Amino acid sequence: MRLVDIRRESGLSHVSDTTIWKALRERGIKAYREEFKFILKSENKLQRLTYCEERKDWTLNEWRNYGFTDEMSIEIGSLFGLNLIWRDITERWHEDCVGAMKKQGISVMCWGMIGWGWKGPFHVWEMETKQEREEAATAIAILEVKRVAEENELNTLWKASDEWKQLKLTEQIAYRLQRRAEKSENIPKKWIPQTWHGKKYKIKRYKRGDGKGVDSWRYVKAVACPLLWPECLLRLQNNPAFTLMEDNAPSHSSHYTTREREKEGILKVDWPPNSPDFNPIEHIWTLMKSRIQRRQGAERITTQTEMKSVLNEEWAWITIEEIDKEIAKLPIIMSRCIAVNGSNNFHA
């Protein structure tokens, strides 16, 4: 709760900030930094705990094998500094003292990649043009024709196999026996599956997203193919244990993205949902935002064009030492998460 909220809700609009501040101090209530965390379900906590326990004994030698990626959305004109709230010292993780970010203004989105001792590619997203949408629609239509043909071919081969013949025989026998039993015992008929009639192989359709944000098609075409996967393959040449880290955003985990990535032979970590605190690049984003916020006066950013240019500048200025410093925190983060049974009420 902020000081202005205290004044409003207590009906003390006529009382000065200094008087309220002194009264709060006397009761042990001070202004602290507001924490922002995901609200986790029990299954999320279990997934996080499992992830950390599997890596609790890892040193930097293991974390060197990871390539960390993420997107960042930055709002033009927004403040990224500390937001102070008034609370007791014991209420740091109380629900009323933990905030949630809500974007309202014009934003610019970017993507980046880091690893121990290196800084990978960086991309600032542009609005998709009409021509790009039309080209995507044409390409997806061609892929859809190929998908249907591939699915039909796989199922045709399956229906010519001994596996299908045995399945058909087994299900037909079960069907006849069940119908005889129902007739002799005069009981209602029960539905009996006959899967041999259907398809064993069903390849998901290629389709675009809802137009809100970056879908898997744009992610693959603008980032994964030209930037991410070549970087991963380069890392794999020097380190066969290299592993890609992506969160579970739909554009990263869709059938289309997964299939294209697997064609490249790139291994991806099984990432626990709602766990940005495990990704060191999040702290790099925070660092970039804080530096951007310090641009005041003539350097103040007011347009998307300016923000895109500045994002590229700030990424170029991120040092390897700053990256390694964040990755070096991972062993401590794993142990802290285990200590709170997979929760996120700790400071990373």
Rounded CA-CA distance 280/331 in Å is: 12
In this prediction, residue 100 has a pLDDT band, given cuts at 50, 70 and 90, of very low
* pLDDT value of residue 35: 59
Buried b (16+ CB within 10 A) or exposed e, 91-106: bbeeeebbeeeeeeee
What digits encode the pLDDT tens for the residues 318-341?
999 999 999 999 999 999 999 999
Dihedral (C-alpha) 274, 275, 281, 285: value to the nearest 10 degrees?
A: 50
CATH assignment of 34-128+211-340? 3.30.420.10
Q: Which of 265, 276, 273 is nearest to 243 (CA)?
A: 265
Q: How far apart are CA 4 and CA 98, in angstroms?
A: 17
Q: Where do the domains of the chain lie?
A: 34-128+211-340, 132-197
**Region of poorest pLDDT, from 10-14, 234-238, 259-263:** 10-14
How many angstroms separate the CA atoms of 148 and 199, rounded?
A: 12
280 pLDDT higher than 90: yes
Give residue-wise pLDDT tens across range 7-33: 666 666 677 777 776 777 777 776 655
Exposed, middle or buried: residue 266 (CB in 10 Å: 0-12, 13-18, 19+)? buried
Radius of gyration of the chain (CA): 27
Task: Identify the sign of the CA torsion 151, 152, 157, 163.
Answer: positive
CB atoms within 10 A of CB 150: 12
Question: What confidence score (pLDDT) does residue 347 get?
Answer: 75
Residue 92 has pLDDT above 80, yes or no: no
